[in-house]
Structure 1
Amino acid sequence: MLDDFSVHGAVLRRYSRTVSKLSAGDADVVARFQQWLQARGCAVSTVRAYATVAVEFCGFIGTRGALASLDGMLVDAFVATLAGYQAKTVEHKLCAVRSFLRFAQGAGLVGSAVLEAVPAAKSVKGARVPSVWDPGDVRKILEAIDRDNPCGKRDYAIILLITRLGLRGIDVKRLEFKDLDWPGNSISVVQAKTGRRVTLPLLKDVGWALIAYIRSGRPITDCPQVFVRHTAPIVPFSDQDHLYQILIKHARVAHVPLGEKQRHGMHSLRHTLATRLLEEGTPIEAIAEILGHQSVASTGVYLKSSLKLLTQCALDPDVPVRAVTP
């Protein structure tokens, strides 16, 4: 943190996500930017994600002046803070900054030169192989969770929801009691990313895990969300909390090796479910429906994460190649 401060002259938002750095004027600009995105029909997830980057950008600019004094050198300084992020993350942040500056230019807040100063970050869509867990390691993690204490009951239910139903972490965090249809044995949520409602069967093991947490683990609170923090104040998880620490904690207890080059967030459990379903021969359309993908093209990427499926695509070197007639 101190090293970054010496280089950039600011405590970067990655270290202080809960601290607001915006003045009233900058907060108003970000709010107007969100309205601008909504008016252009951007998805709810895009509006939220771009606004988060806009807050980071304005917070950084605020340490060195104001939006009115923004120039190319200051844009370059912000871009330098992205060193070390994954290429996909850098691309996303630069797209968000470019969109924000396009809005700011139209509102007369900045000049056209600053928009041209944002570099392009090219990436190949679908180039990254999704991170997946070995099914045996997932079982070890679930078995290692101490379900005799409240936090263990909560963590077990959260991991099981993602592992068995493929829900996104943010949808699990936002899950409310009204989303649970106990008589119909189903769970229905409006996805934060797409805004679409997805209804899934409430599997028996998932249902009992939820019941155990609600009855014997959940603190007394009026929050409509099912899952809450267990330290005061008792509130739901924030959207910025990716629950990474929960999964890693139990993986270490289970003595499951964690490779440095492999991502081990909650989303990787979703990848694991999709890969397993593909290997079992589940139609890709059905998997897309379970995961809430708007296009089966998004689901097809999981073919790359399965060696079993990739071997079926391999060519037999002993089979002669037929000549192609022009």
Structure 2
Amino acid sequence: MKLLEELEQELMRLGYTEGSLKFYRRRWKMLLDFAKSRGENYFSEQLGIDFVEKHFNILEKDFDKTLSQKDTQELRVIRMVGDFQLHHSVLRRYYKHKEILTDPYYINISDDFQNYCKEKGYSKSTIDHYIKQSAYFMDYLASQGISNCSDITLELINRYIRTLAGYTYKTVEQNICSMRTFFRFLQERGIVSTDFASKTPMVQARKQTRIPSVWTKDELKGECKLFCVNGYSQKKLVKL
């Protein structure tokens, strides 16, 4: 599959070791043989599920909650193929190395962004978060063949945000906040002319009402009335 050839090139770009690449190549060969036996030429989620079930009996182990670390790794192999097919990028959940950026241009941009954040007076934890999340975004740009931040488009930004599917609302919100700060930096430095910070979409989430952590005596009496159903007093209060 051309898909696997491109995925291998991306893993090499990311600096995966030869030992790791050999492991992936063995699994990909098994996957190709499995697809060939079924007369399939294209990867699909169902093909991946059937593959891991046939060779590793994954579904039964998952049902019995007996998945081992090795089983999880087998699932990650297939999930990586599916993610790469969808986003043409190795998503950050597969990163094992500390250094996210390898391109000198993006490393320089990241260093400049760090200085910018310090000039703004952000806390160390905030700066660390902004630098890390912007590095993931720049690495995504590199995986898409973008070698200069001046070539960023809103479509690229939207495609990157789609790679965050599956993360919690709070995590996505924090990531987008980091990206907006990064885009403001790029605009202020004259690297981009478009105000991407204001154009970057925000995920929607339903606001949930929180239960007060402290109730007054009168409020508690009022809440107790809610436990009366059809004229019967229900003793539902739990002693804390």
Scaled by the length of structure 1, the TM-score of the pair is: 0.39
- Structure with more relative contact order (C-alpha pairs < 8 Å, separation 6 or more): 1
Shift of 1:109: 1.3
Could you tell me whether the CA contact under 8 Å between 1:88 and 1:123 is conserved in 2?
no
**What's the CA shift string for 1:147-197, capped at 9, x where partnerless?**
xxxxxxxxxxxxxxxxxxxxxxxxxxxxxxxxxxxxxxxxxxxxxxxxxxx
Q: Output the amino acid matched with 2:89.
A: A
Name the SS of the counterpart of 1:112 in structure 2: coil
Shift of 1:318: 8.3
- 1-structure distance, mates of 2:81, 2:137: 19
Scaled by the length of structure 2, the TM-score of the pair is: 0.52
Q: Output the amino acid matched with 2:103.
A: S
**Structure 2 residue 90 is matched with structure 1 residue 15:** no
- 2-structure distance, mates of 1:116, 1:318: 45
**What's the CA shift string for 1:114-134, capped at 9, x where partnerless?**
334410235589x598xxxxx
- 2:223 is matched with 315
Q: Output the amino acid matched with 1:316.
A: C
What root-mean-square deviation, in Å, do the aligned CA atoms of Structure 1 and Structure 2 show? Answer: 3.0
**Structure 2 residue 195 is matched with structure 1 residue 80:** no
> Higher helix share goes to which structure?
2
Aligned-residue identity in percent: 26
- 1-structure distance, mates of 2:83, 2:172: 17
Say which of 55, 58, 71 aligns to 2:153: 71
Q: Call closer, same or farther: CA 1:42–1:10 in 2, change over 3 Å.
A: same
Could you tell me whether the CA contact under 8 Å between 2:183 and 2:195 is conserved in 1?
no
Could you tell me whether the CA contact under 8 Å between 1:75 and 1:117 is conserved in 2?
no
Name the SS of the counterpart of 1:52 in structure 2: helix
Unmatched tracts of structure 1, length 5 or more: 130-299, 305-310, 320-326
- 1-structure distance, mates of 2:138, 2:202: 20
Give the aligned length: 141
Unmatched tracts of structure 2, length 5 or more: 1-79, 228-240
Could you tell me whether the CA contact under 8 Å between 2:100 and 2:136 is conserved in 1?
no
Could you tell me whether the CA contact under 8 Å between 1:102 and 1:115 is conserved in 2?
yes
Could you tell me whether the CA contact under 8 Å between 2:113 and 2:182 is conserved in 1?
yes
- 1-structure distance, mates of 2:209, 2:152: 34
Shift of 1:69: 1.2
Name the SS of the counterpart of 2:106 in structure 1: helix
Alignment of 1:41-60 (within 5 A): 41-60=121-140
Q: Output the amino acid matched with 2:200.
A: V
For the pair shown, which has the larger CA radius of gyration, 1 or 2?
Answer: 2
Q: Output the amino acid matched with 2:176.
A: L
Say which of 14, 32, 35 aligns to 2:112: 32
